[in-house]
Amino acid sequence: MPVESVFPRLEALLPHVQKPIQYVGGELNSTVKDWDACDVRWALMYPDAYEVGLPNQGVMILYEVLNEREGVLAERTYSVWPDLEALMREHDVPQFTVDAHRPVKAFDLFGLSFSTELGYTNMLAALDLAGIPLAAADRTTDDPIVVAGGHAAFNPEPVADFIDAAVIGDGEQAVLEITEVVRAWKAEGMPGGRDEVLLRLAKTGGVYVPRYYDVEYLPDGRIARVVPNASGVPWRVSKHTVMDLDEWPYPKQPLVPLAETVHERMSVEIFRGCTRGCRFCQAGMITRPVRERSITGIGEMVEAGLKATGFEEVGLLSLSSADHTEIADVAKGLADRYAEDKIGLSLPSTRVDAFNIDLANELTRNGRRSGLTFAPEGGSERIRKVINKMVSEEDLIRTVSTAYGNGWRQVKLYFMCGLPTETDDDVLQIADMATRVIAKGREVSGQNDIRCTVSIGGFVPKPHTPFQWAPQLSAEETDARLRKLRDKIRGDKKYGRSIGFRYHDGKPGIVEGLLSRGDRRLGAVIRAVYEDGGRFDGWREYFSYDRWMEAAAKTLPSVGLDVDWYTTRERTYEEVLPWDHLDSGLDKDWLWQDWQDSLDETEVEDCRWTPCFDCGVCPQLSTEIQIGPTGQKLLPLSVK
pTM of the entire structure?
0.96
Number of neighbouring beta carbons within 10 Å of residue 193: 11
Phi, psi torsion values for 41, nearest 5 degrees: -130, 125
What is the arithmetic mean of pLDDT over 73-97?
A: 98
The Cα–Cα gap between 437 and 441 comes to 6
What is the arithmetic mean of pLDDT over 549-570?
A: 98
At 47-82, the pLDDT tens digits run 999 999 999 999 999 999 999 999 999 999 999 999
The Cα–Cα gap between 432 and 418 comes to 18
* pLDDT band at residue 638 under the 50/70/90 scheme: very low
Lowest mean pLDDT among 160-169, 209-218, 270-279, 347-356: 347-356
The Cα–Cα gap between 179 and 195 comes to 16
At 147-169, the pLDDT tens digits run 999 999 999 999 999 999 999 99
The Cα–Cα gap between 237 and 233 comes to 9
Model pLDDT, residue 407: 85
Work out the angle between the directed axes of helices 545-555 and 507-516 (0-180°, nearest 10): 40
What is the arithmetic mean of pLDDT over 4-23?
A: 96
Model pLDDT, residue 640: 35
Number of neighbouring beta carbons within 10 Å of residue 244: 11
Query: Do 504 and 545 touch, CB atoms closer than 8 A?
Result: no
Sequence-distant (6+) residues with CB within 8 A of 495 are 434, 435, 438, 439
Tell me 375's DSSP state. Answer: E
Express as a percent the part of the chain with pLDDT over 70: 98
DSSP helix/strand/coil, 5: coil
DSSP helix/strand/coil, 548: helix
- Inform me whether the pLDDT recorded for 636 exceeds 60: no
Q: Does an H or E element contain 577, and which?
A: none
Q: Does an H or E element contain 636, and which?
A: none
Model pLDDT, residue 320: 87
Q: Does an H or E element contain 338, and which?
A: none
